[in-house]
Amino acid sequence: MSNSFGMTMVEKILAAKAAKDRVVPGELVNVEVDLALGNDITAPVAIKEFKRFGLDRVFDPEKIVLVPDHFTPNKDIAAAEQAQVLRHFAKEYGLKYYFEVGRMGIEHALLPEQGLVRPGMIIIGADSHTCTYGALGAFATGVGSTDLAAAMAIGEAWFKVPATIRFEYNGQMPEWVSGKDLILLTIGKIGVEGARYRAMEFAGSAIDSLPMDGRLTMANMAIEAGGKCGYMQPDQITFEYLEGRVDRAYTSVYSDSNASYESTQIFDVSKLEPQVAFPPSPDNVFPVSDAKGIELDQVVIGSCTNGRIDDLRAAASVIRGKKVKEGLRLLIIPATQQIYRQAMEEGLLADFIDAEAAVSTPTCGPCLGGHMGILAKGEKALATTNRNFVGRMGHPESEVYLSNPAVAAASAVAGTIVHPGEVLS
Amino acid sequence: MILQGKIWLFGDNIDTDAIIAARYLSTTEPEELAAHLMEDVKPDFPGLVQKGDIIVAGNNFGCGSSREHAPLAIKGAGVSCVIARSFARIFYRNSINIGLPILECEEDFSWLKSGEDQLKVNLELGKIIHLQSGREYSAAPFPRFMQELIARGGLVEYVKTRLASR
Ligand code: SF4
């Protein structure tokens, strides 16, 4: 094979699974999938479609994951019935990975934690934030319910090979600046369609030292720039994260040094301020100092973007010994049972409860305006989630700002959006 | 396939939360979803939209979540086709997979009169005609693989063919 021009990590993974020497952007490929995911909103649609095939088995009961996380613990009768569809299907088809309430978590925090994500895999999920798993060097992307149905039947999916944009972040990040701020900065710069249909490769010295939780946050929000996937190439931090979680061999895949990128964006992050996305779009991004003084009714710390242990640690370190501002609600939602337990053992939950925050069992809940923290008309919230579209957290005339967990915690104490440094000084 | 209908105009970055809000996701019935189509953007839309109508939008139509409920709600309302300057990728994929015709057209249609003007669309050729003026526009026709999927009636039928050939 000629090596005159190389391939990116994503091109290599797609080529390997399509049994080809090489693929080029724009090419349509049919590939085997290593994992297919659905939740209580999307899987019922997929299951209905799947039943139309009249099959008595799925392509592989160990490669399908069902997680009821959006409207669970069941928020009403309709939600209960949707969750029941998953439960019955998992039992009927002998699925290995069905995560019941009490053992579950928000899908995109849960799958990496449970060791189901390995470098080099192709993962599709009927949920747009499936792109999260790119942080572990996998090709992972959101699809629709019909794609999930097809994958459950034949274990394949079709893709157009995406062109890749490389994003390089250089310099040492200041205190209180996190992966969330890098990705908000990026989306603010390129816009909600800036990476439409593209793969986003995250690299640079700031990424090399970014802990896995921050990497997961960044890959999670690739979709908010329109990206098909976002990824970091596997390194020591990846291997340490995988250690003790995965019980199977995997092959790490890396971009060639002569890979061709559609474009490259370079950021110096050494003087970066925490970032805030103003309503009604995740690309409406400003430094936190420009958001100073905006009054809040609710603060939410959780979601598949920022509900992991590092996020809770950052929030607790700001709020410890302080109280949530009177008249404001602070909701803390650890993303998985394991994170919940760890937060308990580290005393973080006590910090939150002492501060008079409400701590919830893992759920998507308010992130999509489902339940557990819906906003009334005219209310403003600051959330560590990923979307702030009109009506996302409740009433169409409510508003959502997005930030990192430390800014969110500080703002819950101040009652207005502030830099964590101001609350601590 | 030739489609003809009254158009409804929407702007850029219409996200799936705007197409169908999450509070209605506890059903998957296209008709029930259609009762709330575009409600947060245009509250009277579910009562106005009629079978055969065409949605015309700007850039990045269908961005946001992967919910197939969005194209299902549009299909459930009887909308025959969506024309936009660009689509978000999961929405594009979902529409093709469920057999909702969508066309990408660079043209700026923001001058059309919403709820009045009529378009005639030829899907195979990617041709769009503005009936009031007779003007013609061209859109990107589907790539061949996607035409095949549509011809077979969407992804479910494609998979059935695959399963039958095993
Ligand atoms: S936490 Fe929010 S963004 Fe993440 S999967 Fe749940 S609803 Fe989607």
Q: How much distance in Å is there from the Cα of A302 to the middle of ligand 1?
A: 9
How does pLDDT run across A295-318, given as a tens digit for each residue? 999 999 999 999 999 999 999 999
Beta strands at B102-104 and B81-84: parallel, antiparallel or unpaired = parallel
Q: What is the pLDDT of residue B1?
A: 79
Q: What is the pLDDT of residue A27?
A: 86
Helix, strand, or coil here: B11?
coil
Q: Which residue among B15, B68, B158 places its CB closest to the CB of A42?
A: B68
Q: How much distance in Å is there from the Cα of A18 to the middle of ligand 1?
A: 30
**Same fold for the pair A7-160 and A165-230+248-268:** no
Mean pLDDT computed over A121-131? 97
B contacts of A44 (beta carbons < 8 Å): 28
Mean confidence (pLDDT) of chain A: 96
Check B93 against A143: CB less than 8 A apart. Answer: yes
- Assigned CATH topology for domain A165-230+248-268: Aconitase; Domain 2 (3.40.1060)
pLDDT surpasses 50 at B125: yes
pLDDT surpasses 80 at B144: no
Domain layout of chain A by residue ranges: 7-160, 165-230+248-268, 276-424
Check B65 against A128: CB less than 8 A apart. Answer: yes
| A65, A69, A367, A389: residue to mutate for ligand 1 pocket, most atoms within 8 A of CB | A367
CATH number assigned to the domain with residue range A276-424, chosen from the 4 options 3.40.1350.10, 1.20.1260.10, 3.40.50.1980, 3.30.499.10 = 3.30.499.10
Please report, for residues A58, A148, A294, the alpha-carbon distance to residue A153 in angstroms, rounded to integers and kept in the order given.
Answer: 5, 9, 50
Q: Could you give the CA distance from residue B66 to residue A197 in angstroms, rounded to a whole number?
A: 14
Q: How much distance in Å is there from the Cα of A46 to the middle of ligand 1?
A: 18
Does the pTM of the predicted model rise above 0.80?
A: yes
Q: Which residue among A53, A197, A369 places its CB closest to the CB of B22?
A: A369
pLDDT surpasses 60 at A43: yes
Q: What is the pLDDT of residue A367?
A: 97
How does pLDDT run across A385-404, given as a tens digit for each residue? 999 999 999 999 999 999 99
- Helix (H) or strand (E) run with residue B54 in it: strand B54-57
Q: What is the pLDDT of residue B97?
A: 87
Residue nearest to atom 4 of ligand 1 (CA): A304
Check B90 against A144: CB less than 8 A apart. Answer: yes
Return the closest-CA partner of residue A111 out of A128, A82, A89, A136: A136
Q: How much distance in Å is there from the Cα of A383 to the middle of ligand 1?
A: 12
Q: Which residue among A125, A149, A226 places its CB closest to the CB of B63?
A: A226
Q: Which residue among B26, B28, B59 places its CB closest to the CB of A193?
A: B59
- Assigned CATH topology for domain A7-160: Aconitase; domain 3 (3.30.499)
Q: What is the pLDDT of residue A1?
A: 44
How does pLDDT run across B20-74, given as a tens digit for each residue? 998 898 888 899 999 999 999 999 999 999 999 999 999 999 998 878 899 999 9
Model confidence at B153, pLDDT cuts 50, 70, 90, reads: low
pLDDT: is B100 or A134 the higher one?
A: A134
| A133, A386, A393, A400: residue to mutate for ligand 1 pocket, most atoms within 8 A of CB | A386
Mean pLDDT computed over A140-147? 94
Question: pLDDT above 70 covers what percent of chain A?
Answer: 99
Question: pLDDT above 90 covers what percent of chain A?
Answer: 96
pLDDT surpasses 60 at A2: no
How does pLDDT run across A411-424, given as a tens digit for each residue? 999 999 999 999 99
Check B66 against A28: CB less than 8 A apart. Answer: no
Burial readout A41-64 (b: 16 or more C-beta within 10 A, e: otherwise)? bbbbbbbebbeebeeeebbbeebb
